[in-house]
Structure 1
Amino acid sequence: MTVMLERPTTDGTDPRRFEELCAALDELNVPDGFNAEIIRGNIVVSPWSKAYYLDVMDLVCDQLRPRLPEGHRISSAPALYVFPGVERAYGPDVHAAHRQTRRTTSRHLDGEGLSFVAELTSPSTRDDDLTDKVERYGKAGVPVYLLLDMQEDSATVYWSPTPKGYASHLTLPFGEKIHIPDPFDCHVDTTGFQAPGEG
């Protein structure tokens, strides 16, 4: 059985402008240690995350993989999901989507194919992760957005997307188990998500 999720459509921007932004992004020579996204109609370059973020991303993937909807895959590999109607192209830290979403020769994946995203905040991306991405993922119909606030040691799960954004959310401190709603309906244990002690 294949599970595809219905999504609201977005509109209101010039598709040619977004295509030009995507082309410019593709041609951009991003320095090692940085990644690029399109946020609010602008190309934004930010530094890669701290090394321990990789372990946190793996922990999220490992816990959700057994609960994926049929035909869906989860990864923390670099990928750029586009939302042309709102001039956004995000590279989420962890992303789950139907396998068909990835079966393309394009460098850009359809953001409407996402079933789950997780973002790990950093000082340079935190504001966008807490505002722009919460709003846009919700309005685009992404069923679940897990925001891991690495500066505040907390996890917030957003669900029930609507044309106005997410209708529901829950925040818990790291170290707790947080419920991930449908289509996963499981818990993610956030033990070990905190920064390691220096020593």
Structure 2
Amino acid sequence: MTPSTADHAQMSVEEFEQLARTAPETVTLEFIRGRPEVKPVPDGDHGTIFMWLLRQCMQQRADLDLHPEQGLAVEAYPQGRARPDGTLAPRRHFAGKGEWAPADGVLMTVEVTSYDYDTDRRDRTEKRDGHAAADIPVYLLIDRDNDTLVVHSEPEKGRYRQQTTYGYGDTVALPAPVDVTLDTEELKDYAR
């Protein structure tokens, strides 16, 4: 039986970080479950959805910043490195923390799905589980394939205990410690 990459990393975290430092600016790399992965380039709707979320978070919680693609150290083993589409944390939280900041103090991570072959594995499973393992209180998945927002919360033992799915147009109350209510009516404009 061949061991999976979940059991054995393809490279060390140090080797990955060196690779990420030397990659061209046009390539964004992540290290998920022991594998280096190329993060897809976002399309216009993807970016617009992120800006919609940024505006709502800033209007309701001026004490927080929503950082685009902040590098985070996630997962217990193998150690992972992720660049969520958004990372919500207290203002100035990442000052002085470098390219791959610890996940401590992060309130929420956000992924907006891309239209590519491995979105299911990457955004719906591996990143969700990595962020739960890092005890990030809320993982918000804006799933453009299904026109839904999936709110994962209450991380425990590497899994989120709660998962609630909302359709575009619903009012979405993000749980504590985020405490932001999203009016998702605008997302209907970006449905395919």
Q: How many angstroms does 1:68 deviate by?
A: 3.7
Q: How many angstroms does 1:100 deviate by?
A: 5.2
Q: Give the whole-Å Cα distance in 2 for the aligned partners of 1:184 and 1:67.
A: 10
**For residue 87 of structure 2, what is the amino acid of its counterpart?**
H
Higher relative contact order (CA 8 A, sep 6+): 1
Match of 1:180 among 168, 174, 178: 174
User: Residue 35 in 1 paired to residue 21 in 2?
Assistant: no
TM-score when scaled to structure 2?
0.82
Q: Give the whole-Å Cα distance in 1 for the aligned partners of 2:134 and 2:8.
A: 14
Q: Residues 48 and 164 (structure 1 numbering): CA distance in 2 closer, same or farther, change over 3 Å?
A: same
Counterparts of residues 17-166 of structure 1 (less than 5 Å): 17-30=12-25, 32=26, 34-68=27-61, 70=63, 72-76=64-68, 78-83=69-74, 85-86=76-77, 87-99=79-91, 101-104=93-96, 106-124=98-116, 125-127=118-120, 128-166=122-160
Q: Give the whole-Å Cα distance in 1 for the aligned partners of 2:189 and 2:59.
A: 26
Q: How many angstroms does 1:195 deviate by?
A: 5.6
**For residue 106 of structure 1, what is the amino acid of its counterpart?**
G
Q: Give the whole-Å Cα distance in 2 for the aligned partners of 1:48 and 1:194.
A: 22
In structure 2, runs of 5+ residues without a counterpart are 1-6
Q: Which moved more, 1:184-193 or 1:99-108?
A: 99-108
Percent identity reads: 21
CA contact (8 A) 2:76 2:133 kept: no
Measured against aligned partners, the alpha-carbon deviations of 1:96-139 in whole angstroms (never above 9, x if no partner) come to 12345411262221122311111001133522110011111112
Q: Give the whole-Å Cα distance in 2 for the aligned partners of 1:195 and 1:22.
A: 38
Q: How many angstroms does 1:189 deviate by?
A: 1.4
Q: Residues 95 and 163 (structure 1 numbering): CA distance in 2 closer, same or farther, change over 3 Å?
A: same
Q: Residues 100 and 196 (structure 1 numbering): CA distance in 2 closer, same or farther, change over 3 Å?
A: closer
In structure 1, runs of 5+ residues without a counterpart are 1-11
**For residue 162 of structure 2, what is the amino acid of its counterpart?**
S
**For residue 143 of structure 1, what is the amino acid of its counterpart?**
P
CA contact (8 A) 2:34 2:80 kept: yes
Q: How many residues align?
A: 182
Measured against aligned partners, the alpha-carbon deviations of 1:30-68 in whole angstroms (never above 9, x if no partner) come to 5x3x42211111111132111122221111111122444
What residue number does 1:4 align with?
Answer: none
Q: Residues 73 and 108 (structure 1 numbering): CA distance in 2 closer, same or farther, change over 3 Å?
A: same
Measured against aligned partners, the alpha-carbon deviations of 1:9-41 in whole angstroms (never above 9, x if no partner) come to xxx999x921221122111225x3x42211111
TM-score when scaled to structure 1?
0.80
Q: Residues 75 and 131 (structure 1 numbering): CA distance in 2 closer, same or farther, change over 3 Å?
A: same
For residue 193 of structure 1, give the secondary structure of its aligned residue in structure 2: helix
